[in-house]
Structure 1
Amino acid sequence: MPRRRHAALILVALSALAACSAGPSTRPVIAVRGDGAESAQAAVPSGPREVPPLEDFEQGGLTWSSCTEETESRMAGTAPAGDHEYECARLTVRLDASNRPGRGSLGVALLRVGTGGTPLVVVGDAEGEPGTLKAARLAAVLPAEVLSTFTLIGVDRRGTGQSDGVQCVPNSARTAIVEADPADPTSEDLQEAFTKASQECVIDLENRLTAVDSWRTAADLEQLREALGVPHLNGIGVGEGSRVLTTYASRYPDRIGRLVLDGAPDPTLDAQGVAEARAVAAGEAFAAFEKDCVLRGCPLGATATSRFTALLEALRDAPLRGEDVDLTPGTATVAVLVGLADRSRWPQLADALVAAEGGDGSKLTAFVAPLLVDQDDSPPWLDAGIVTTCNDTTTRIPPERVNSLTADWREKHPLFGAYFARKLLTCGPFPVPQAVQVPKLVGAPPVLVLTSAADPVTPAAGGERAAQALPAGVVVAWQGSGHGALGQSVCATTAAQEFLVNAKVPVSGTVCPP
């Protein structure tokens, strides 16, 4: 065995042993070093502050080139309505791995759209659509005044999209993770898949492994702000992207601009609490999907729940073979969760479930394809999602505890409880990151936090607690379903527009109809 691979496997084994012997941590987020944030903290007054003014960015700070045709191609025929032009650039940032602080570099992909003079950065989920594409899609649904006031700048966060990507999980392990049946009474096959993922990622990424996290992504945004030549960073955080923006705020409190968090993760829960909250919210989202089916007259109608569970049983007996992945109970569950998160795809999800009942699994497996295979020079989403998640927490839950939770949650949350319980195995074999407390944010301007009543990715209660943890968090609660309210709720989108463009802060607790 080559010396490098042997040493890496020893590291994996020791890390897993340490995780099991130490027991699960309750720290949901980790951080390393301050890079000047501590001195900035001392200079910032505590309590709420005024909404910062809008500032023009320097056109020469980055080298942009047209990428309209490429972007429309990446959007697979769903390009935004209207005459949008896209430009792309690349920002070189510090790698800053834990064993090589301040050293190394990597490339971060950027996309801009809009004609406004003020930059508005868009950061998304690590295991989701890259930020460049998210910015392009937001351009289709945000009011015209936003795009004439701001230039949206989408960021493919570390390891994702067309940035220096993370693609280290073996194909066989990636497929096994998605195909794993949540009803399996043992977790041995899933444990083995995550162990293979850990081993190969440690070997393949080497120094880069520990550098793919939200803490360092926040530092990337600071380098982007400097390149843009603006005193404050304005931004939209979608889902886990909100964690990056709140981490940025804690590290650089004197540079906070106008921030909108669209579906913020809960900063108070540990990994187990987050998983159970997501199981509950996913069940609520599926109930809303069923009601929507009734209203639209879709083929599933009021029987969506019973037909979905019947489909899982049928797939348990006879999976549908596919090119990249088979449609198993696990694949169908992941596909449904992906579909529930995107409200605009609910009709497509209903059609896919009906097709699967008839023996055609291709429409459902299409929902999970971005997680598993390269698309448009972007690596599979699953890899960066796993690595970022496991670097953002020191929690490692032993398999026997996961098995106990699986049995319990299968009864308490029948549709998705077992799936989210078994997902807690993800980080078990991965090295435990160095943990340093994130600086406490004591002073900040108002931050707008949008929640969705049934959000299967970042449940609404977590967003409310995220707002409470901010010095001046303001909640606008959409009573609809899906991951994110921007572009889905006219009320929530208008509130974001007024806040971003006119510095009008809504009354916290404002409720938007479904």
Structure 2
Amino acid sequence: MPRNTKRVAALLPFLLLVVTGCTAGPSDRPAVAYHDDESAAQAPQPPEPAPVPGLGGPTADTLHWQDCTPQTTAELGSAPPGMMFSCAQMLSILDAPEAPERGTQRNALIRIGDGTHVPLVVVGDINGEPGTTFAARLAAQLPPEVHNTFDIIGVDRRGTGESDPADCMQPAERESIVGFDPRATERPQLDRLLDSVVSASQECLLTLDERLQAYDSWRTASDLEELRLELGVPKLHLLGRGEASRLLTTYAERYPQSVGRMVLDGAPDPTRDAIGRAESQARAAENAFDEFAERCVARGCPLGEDPRRAVGDLVERTRSTPLPANGSVVPAGRVVRALQLGLRDQSSWPALADALAAGVRGDGTRLAEISAPLLQSQGTAAPWLDGHLITKCNDTTLRVPPQRSSQLAADWVNRFPLFGGLAAQRIVWCGSWPVPQRPLPTPRRGDLPPIPVITTEHDPQTLALGTDHMAQQLPTGVQLRWQGAGHGALGRSTCITDAVARYLVHGAVPTEGMVCPA
């Protein structure tokens, strides 16, 4: 991509706001919250939900699928016998702010199935593994009746995986951002983090040019609509985990007539702004760690009888003395990020405990392996950090000045000792970022089909109460709850998975408020 120096000169002041002092931009807090009984009685009645859409027939798509079973099986480590994987590339419109409805965006796709069934599109978090990998991994956990009805379609979101990946930061910048002190609270300390982010942003602007501000959930929603057209189906059946729920509700607001059967698994709170969501994520991670610690002790924990103290001491020690790890080092920030990543999958908790215990003994090798995808390419997939930071800052209109950032950090580090600092740093990331022209819409349509919204009690990424709010905010939301732990319930809770399978396959809407035990 050629380096457009004129555009760099135009946008660079936005990336250097820290030099002249930042001001808070408009909040992305939605206007709708909660009403008292009197105002609720006066409000107009919402329209009736649309009926559950029919499944439709198999695709008549124009995509060129090629077998990628060996590569995908190797990437996953294993796959159920007979499971087939095909890969394809789809072109959509880039639609950058400087060139509306122009340019080209390349999207990587995977299909699990033989192409003779109805497509079910699966979308994952922007801060995790590429969507194609996530879809393949989830497909291996879904019951036979889902596979007998659907071909699972996974999508690498803009700037991630093989969808024109945003591999634009220098390795030293990634190391600085990921490893930054998770207990830093003073403004001079946080200014050093902002310096690293500004430097990374400048390099990404030079590398990506107009693509930089086109990597967001609003435009990715149009990629999903293009996928529907390419697949040749009247409605798109959708499943989103975690932060991807905001992408799917954006799609539903933009293309309501295209929405088929849709499920949200662990959605962030739509009633809070970026600060509120970051605070909720810190609280969620602390709650999940407490559950991890309790279960660890119950099985004979390698971290001893007080895992929170052991991990807290490890973080404090590595603030000044990073752990050695096969020629590299693991500073405190990377320890905490490895912990947060490890908490996502309950089945990996014993391995996470062993990795932390090794860190306590002075060996950071396993913690480095857990956090490596943030910093290093994994096969053909770019480092996760670049696409995460860019999309996050393009998706929110809130900009927090440095003094406010240090206040938040001091408050959150005190209240959420393990994860509060990381939450505050994510607010700092966007402080010098151009404010997007269009905020994501608040989910409010009442003419959609019923939408199951799944809450996981101990989800380290999304606070259970926040996902409950999503179910309540959606006029057609149907709330389900799993009393388990980890990021997302589908494929992990048999009870939840069976209820969702009945909805997807047969159109049977789950019982509102159903609760599944851990």
Query: TM-score under structure 2 normalisation?
Result: 0.91
Match of 2:318 among 315, 319, 324: 315
Does the 8 Å CA contact 1:291/1:302 hold for their aligned counterparts?
no
Q: 2:368 — aligned with what?
A: 365
Cα shift at 1:342 = 1.9
Match of 1:200 among 203, 206, 223: 203
Is structure 2 residue 423 aligned with structure 1 residue 405?
no
Is the deviation greater in 230-239 or in 12-21?
12-21
Q: Output the CA distance in 1 between the equivalents of 2:516 and 2:293.
A: 21
SS at match of 1:61: coil
Is structure 2 residue 222 aligned with structure 1 residue 223?
no
Structure 1, gaps ≥5 residues long: 30-44
Q: How does 1:374-413 map to 2 (within 5 A)?
A: 374-413=377-416
Q: Output the CA distance in 2 between the equivalents of 1:258 and 1:158.
A: 23
Cα root mean square deviation, aligned = 2.1
The 1:454/1:317 distance shift into structure 2, 3 A limit, reads same
Q: Output the CA distance in 1 between the equivalents of 2:345 and 2:241.
A: 12
Cα shift at 1:442 = 3.2
Cα shift at 1:398 = 1.1
Q: Output the CA distance in 2 between the equivalents of 1:13 and 1:506.
A: 51
Q: 2:337 — aligned with what?
A: 334
Q: Output the CA distance in 2 between the equivalents of 1:488 and 1:301.
A: 27
Q: 2:117 — aligned with what?
A: 117
Q: 1:456 — aligned with what?
A: 460
SS at match of 2:480: strand
Is structure 2 residue 8 aligned with structure 1 residue 8?
yes
The 1:300/1:14 distance shift into structure 2, 3 A limit, reads closer
Q: How does 1:182-331 map to 2 (within 5 A)?
A: 182-184=182-184, 185=186, 186-322=189-325, 326-331=329-334
Cα deviation digits, residues 252-283 of structure 1 (max 9, x gap): 11111001111112111111101111111111
Q: 2:54 — aligned with what?
A: 53
Is the deviation greater in 376-385 or in 423-432?
423-432
Cα shift at 1:487 = 1.2
Does the 8 Å CA contact 1:56/1:119 hold for their aligned counterparts?
no
Please tell me the residue identity of whatever aligns with 1:66.
D
Does the 8 Å CA contact 1:28/1:394 hold for their aligned counterparts?
no
Q: Output the CA distance in 1 between the equivalents of 2:270 and 2:285.
A: 19
Is the deviation greater in 399-408 or in 185-194?
185-194
Q: 1:414 — aligned with what?
A: 417
Q: 1:42 — aligned with what?
A: none
Please tell me the residue identity of whatever aligns with 1:133.
T
Is structure 2 residue 510 aligned with structure 1 residue 509?
no
User: For this pair of structures, how many residues does the alignment match?
Assistant: 496
Does the 8 Å CA contact 1:233/1:258 hold for their aligned counterparts?
yes
Q: 2:41 — aligned with what?
A: none
Cα shift at 1:59 = 4.2
Q: 1:108 — aligned with what?
A: 107
Does the 8 Å CA contact 1:47/1:471 hold for their aligned counterparts?
no
The 1:437/1:193 distance shift into structure 2, 3 A limit, reads closer
Match of 1:424 among 406, 423, 427: 427
Does the 8 Å CA contact 1:239/1:265 hold for their aligned counterparts?
yes
The 1:3/1:287 distance shift into structure 2, 3 A limit, reads closer
Please tell me the residue identity of whatever aligns with 1:486.
L
Cα shift at 1:163 = 1.4
Cα shift at 1:7 = 5.3
Is structure 2 residue 68 aligned with structure 1 residue 67?
yes
Q: 1:154 — aligned with what?
A: 154
Is the deviation greater in 112-121 or in 398-407?
112-121
Does the 8 Å CA contact 1:356/1:364 hold for their aligned counterparts?
yes
Does the 8 Å CA contact 1:9/1:199 hold for their aligned counterparts?
no
Q: Output the CA distance in 2 between the equivalents of 1:217 and 1:133.
A: 18
Q: Output the CA distance in 2 between the equivalents of 1:422 and 1:251.
A: 31
Q: Output the CA distance in 2 between the equivalents of 1:329 and 1:180.
A: 7
Cα shift at 1:25 = 2.6
Is the deviation greater in 329-338 or in 421-430?
421-430
Q: 2:24 — aligned with what?
A: 23
Is the deviation greater in 317-326 or in 123-132?
317-326
Cα shift at 1:20 = 5.6
Does the 8 Å CA contact 1:120/1:152 hold for their aligned counterparts?
yes
SS at match of 1:48: coil
Match of 2:447 among 420, 443, 452: 443
Is the deviation greater in 104-113 or in 80-89?
80-89
SS at match of 1:411: helix
Q: 1:470 — aligned with what?
A: 474
Q: Output the CA distance in 2 between the equivalents of 1:452 and 1:74.
A: 27
Please tell me the residue identity of whatever aligns with 1:49.
A
Does the 8 Å CA contact 1:46/1:444 hold for their aligned counterparts?
no
Does the 8 Å CA contact 1:66/1:87 hold for their aligned counterparts?
yes
Q: Output the CA distance in 1 between the equivalents of 2:14 and 2:448.
A: 41
The 1:315/1:507 distance shift into structure 2, 3 A limit, reads same
Cα deviation digits, residues 79-119 of structure 1 (max 9, x gap): 23332110111111111111111111121111111356110
Q: Output the CA distance in 2 between the equivalents of 1:62 and 1:471.
A: 35
Q: Which runs of 4+ in 1 moved over 4 A?
A: 2-7, 18-22
